[in-house]
Amino acid sequence: MQVALAMTRIIGLDPGLRHTGWGIIETQGNRLRYVGHGIIAPCPTLELAQRLNKLFQGLIDVIHNFSPDEAAVEETFVNAVNAASALKLGMARGVVLMAPASANLLVAEYSANKVKKSVVGVGHADKAQVSMMVQRLLPTCGVVKADAADALAVAICHAHHRQTSLLMRA
């Protein structure tokens, strides 16, 4: 007797204050299906609090429109040279974590190296390699800008690692 595997819709998020990429896939067992992608880009002339609010509202709209079951967020690499930029990126990352959590979604986090290794096979792949592999794994997504490709890669990484994470939580 064969057991039917449930389909899970995953939103992957690549945090950024200027551009936050999002990508949505469905997974059933080891099968992946592209659903949608995009970028949220708050106006850079707005005050920081208003930019963060635009980012939050944009993510809430995406979550409402696509109804994902789970979320995955890429951990950000912090360059200690510019502390002010790192702090602002951290605030944007907090918003990116909070939006799916406020929609009661399970939120997983993955390092950039783990995402790249899961999608490309190499932990230090460049953005062009990630984008190319995302397009090979999800052929119906078409050409995808870097931030959205990274978000789709985060969703793919989560699809590959979610069963292990669920077992560890249990």
pLDDT reading at 1 higher than 50:
no
The β-bridge partners of 167 are none
Average pLDDT, the chain: 91
More confident residue, 61 or 161: 61
Catalytic residue among 61, 70, 74, 109: 74
pLDDT reading at 113 higher than 60:
yes
8 A C-beta contact, residue 35 and residue 9:
yes
pLDDT reading at 4 higher than 80:
no
More confident residue, 115 or 125: 115
The β-bridge partners of 24 are 11, 36
Q: Which of 106, 112, 117, 122 is nearest to 151 (CA)?
A: 112
pLDDT of residue 170: 60
pTM (two decimals): 0.92
8 A C-beta contact, residue 1 and residue 105:
no
pLDDT of residue 169: 63
Q: Among this protein's residues, is 75 annotated catalytic? A: no
Q: Among this protein's residues, is 74 annotated catalytic? A: yes
Within 8 A by CB and 6+ apart from 140, the residues are 33, 34
Delineate the domains of the chain, giving CATH numbers in brackets. 9-169 (3.30.420.10)
pLDDT reading at 29 higher than 60:
yes
Start-end of H helices in the chain = 48-66, 83-102, 112-119, 127-137, 146-169
Give tens-digit pLDDT for 50-91. Answer: 999 999 999 999 999 999 999 999 998 766 677 888 888 899
8 A C-beta contact, residue 75 and residue 112:
yes
Catalytic residue among 14, 69, 70, 75: 14
Radius of gyration of the chain (CA): 16
pLDDT reading at 2 higher than 70:
no
pLDDT of residue 165: 63
Give tens-digit pLDDT for 125-144. Answer: 888 899 999 999 999 999 99
